[in-house]
Homo-oligomer: A and B are copies of this chain.
Amino acid sequence: MPQRVLKFSKTMPDSSIFVHGAISADDIANAIQRLSEFQNIGAHSIFIGQVRSDAIEDQIVSAIDYAAYKEMAEQKALELISETVQTYQLNTAMVQHSLGMVKSGEICLFVLTASRHRKSSLEACAYLVERIKKELPVWGKEILEKGGHIWKKNTE
């Protein structure tokens, strides 16, 4: 009988979680496509963060300019990914975050968790998103349409 349960690298030590500018829908399609090779995956949960054109004190946000303490963030992301994979017994998890300018309506965060069953992938996705928002040293500068900026706050 052929080997059906393929090994999937549980973390991605070679590749950065950061991409320059917005994350495209095509990048996301490619990530999803890649997982079809792994026939022991039954469920993927994906979270996508999109820049909102919030009105702040009557000013419209036209973009967010993201900066990170890069080395610390990469290290932390790997730690969070492998902890999540272990805790929820995932096949794999992926994280991508934008650096630099991302316009309103564009995607700045992509998180994917894949497992045999829906429950673990859904719970793992919510858990990983929460930890990313709280623990990754990344900052968003909200660029206002009429000039100036306001520092983004993660409130929820």
Contacts and interface: CB of A to CB of B under 8 A. Distances in A.
A118 B49 contact: yes
A40 B55 CA distance: 10
A47 B116 CA distance: 13
Nearest to A38: B105
Interface string A1-35: 10010000000000000000000011011101101
How many subunits of this chain does the assembly comprise?
A: 2
A18 to B, nearest CB: 20
The listed residue with most B CB atoms (<10 A of its CB), out of A41, A106, A123, is A41
A43 B108 CA distance: 10
Interface of A: 1, 4, 25-26, 28-30, 32-33, 35-53, 55, 60, 104-107, 116-119, 121-123, 125-126, 129, 133, 156
